Amino acid sequence: MKRKVLDYLDVIFGSLVCSAGIALFVTPAKIASGGVSGIATMLYHVLGWDPGYVIFALSLPLFLIGMKIFGKKYGLKSLLGTVLLSAFTSVFMKVPGSQSILDYSQSINVLLGAVFGGVAMGMGIGFVMRGGANTGGTDILAQIVNKYTPLSLGTALTITDAVIIFASAFVFGLERALYAIITVYITGITIDKVVFFGTNKAKVVMIITSKPDELASYIMKNLDHSATLLDGKGMYTGADKPVLMAVVSNNELGGLTAKVREVDERAFMIVQNANQVLGEGFTPIAKAII
């Protein structure tokens, strides 16, 4: 119950912060940074339509289509995120002075709007995602495209945002479209920072060695982590090659590398980033961010 309450608080807070970024920064700065918010920004300046209403009008049908195609994946929390984002955006737009926080006739202030709008939107979406939901919109459209075409989800989302930003160049000019690209980039980085904040960033280490037992003993006794021995085969030599896999924290990697060099100079070692590690010795699975 506590986890569910925290999830809903994340969705509510995230929707609030994201809507602030849309209403206070990107919309008055005429930055259509992709997604339904980008479309809403263009319609606001061209036709005078409330961005909150536009976001809701575009997101709700996409949400219903996504629920029909993907089933219960789009549950109450995602619907809540969609509704709250629309409502909070509309409220912020009506606050006196909300559209004149910065003087957007100056290029430096447009840049500030792009940066801080991206941070606020990324932070908001990140919290919504931490709560196990999404804010709907073109994310769902990209997932539908991904399902019925060979395009990956990331490619589909990039194409969708690119089309909106390209269209904004005709509405607001090339300069604002370039600012929109900055906003999209900052939003993506901020989402990752929020989603993975507080998780154990670690390294996945794969060691191809003729002395796996000695290295496994070091990992278990000195680093207090377990290891997994995999069966491998060198395709060039045809010889069996034991592969030792372990997950270690960043500050333990140096010691492990030195030990590998000491034990087997001919070892082959692969190190990869692990943004989130769940289980004994790291973050308990019960506290996983889904």
Query: Domain with 258 in it: what CATH number?
Result: 3.30.70.120
* Higher local confidence (pLDDT), 101 or 141: 101
| 73 lies in the same domain as 130 | yes
Mean pLDDT of 237-248: 86
Give percent above pLDDT 70 in the chain. 89
In the predicted model, what is the mean pLDDT of the chain?
84
Question: What pLDDT does residue 6 have?
Answer: 82
Q: Which residue has the tokens 């370039």?
A: 178
Q: Which residue has the tokens 């506290």?
A: 287
54: domain range? Answer: 2-195
| 148 lies in the same domain as 18 | yes
Question: What pLDDT does residue 75 have?
Answer: 67
Q: What is the sign, positive or negative, of the torsion defined by CA atoms of 171, 190, 137, 11?
A: negative
| 127 lies in the same domain as 171 | yes
Give percent above pLDDT 90 in the chain. 30
Question: What pLDDT does residue 74 have?
Answer: 58
Q: How far is CA 205 from CA 134, 245, 246, in A?
A: 33, 6, 5
Q: How far is CA 116 from CA 95, 172, 176, 193, in A?
A: 19, 19, 15, 15
**DSSP H/E element including 203:** strand 202-208
C-beta separation of 31 from 117 below 8 A: yes
pLDDT surpasses 80 at 212: yes
| 54 lies in the same domain as 170 | yes
Q: Which of 70-79, 184-193, 270-279 has the highest mean pLDDT?
A: 184-193
**Spatial separation of the C-alpha atoms in residues 174 and 166, rounded to whole Å:** 9
Mean pLDDT of 241-259: 83
**Spatial separation of the C-alpha atoms in residues 104 and 88, rounded to whole Å:** 22
**Spatial separation of the C-alpha atoms in residues 61 and 52, rounded to whole Å:** 15
| 170 lies in the same domain as 231 | no
| 230 lies in the same domain as 190 | no
Q: Which two tokens stand for residue 55?
A: 């976001």
Question: What pLDDT does residue 182 have?
Answer: 93
C-beta separation of 153 from 142 below 8 A: yes
Mean pLDDT of 165-172: 92
Closest CA to 195 of 127, 102, 132, 134: 127
Which of 144, 176, 195 is the C-terminal boundary of a domain? 195
| 191 lies in the same domain as 206 | no
pLDDT in tens, 68-91: 776 665 567 778 888 899 999 999
Number of domains forming the structure of the chain: 2
**Spatial separation of the C-alpha atoms in residues 116 and 129, rounded to whole Å:** 20
| 171 lies in the same domain as 59 | yes
pLDDT surpasses 90 at 112: yes
**Spatial separation of the C-alpha atoms in residues 99 and 25, rounded to whole Å:** 8
Question: What pLDDT does residue 281 have?
Answer: 62
N-to-C CA span, the chain: 15
* Helix, coil or strand: residue 199: coil
Q: Which two tokens stand for residue 84?
A: 């709250």
pLDDT surpasses 80 at 142: no
Which of 195, 216, 232 is the C-terminal boundary of a domain? 195
Q: Which of 17-26, 138-147, 156-165, 251-260 has the weakest average pLDDT? A: 138-147
Question: What pLDDT does residue 285 have?
Answer: 61
Which of 171, 195, 219 is the C-terminal boundary of a domain? 195
| 155 lies in the same domain as 240 | no
**Spatial separation of the C-alpha atoms in residues 107 and 112, rounded to whole Å:** 9
The alpha helices in 95-205, defined as continuous H runs, are 107-130, 138-148, 153-172, 174-195
Mean pLDDT of 10-20: 91
Mean pLDDT of 112-141: 84
